[in-house]
Amino acid sequence: MIRRTVTKNLALAILERSGIETIWRLHTAAAEVYQIGNPDAAAAILEIAEAAEEILLKAEGSPALI
């Protein structure tokens, strides 16, 4: 089994639970959090969104990943 980071595990769990629309919601949430003055939290949310995107791109043609 491939060792995954906490961020990737979280992204995978969110994708499994909520689907691909989660990526857009994460990006939107990051923008909102940044606008209210929390750039570190926004960066963390973006990291999860990017991990989710990476998982989806790798999953193309391999539905067993998600």
**Residue 52 pLDDT > 90:** yes
Length of the chain in residues, anyone?
66
pLDDT score at 58: 87
Whether the CB-CB separation of 34 and 27 falls below 8 Å is answered with no
7-36 pLDDT, tens digit per residue, is: 999 999 999 999 999 999 999 999 999 999
**Residue 1 pLDDT > 80:** no
Share of the chain above pLDDT 70, in %: 85
pLDDT score at 62: 61
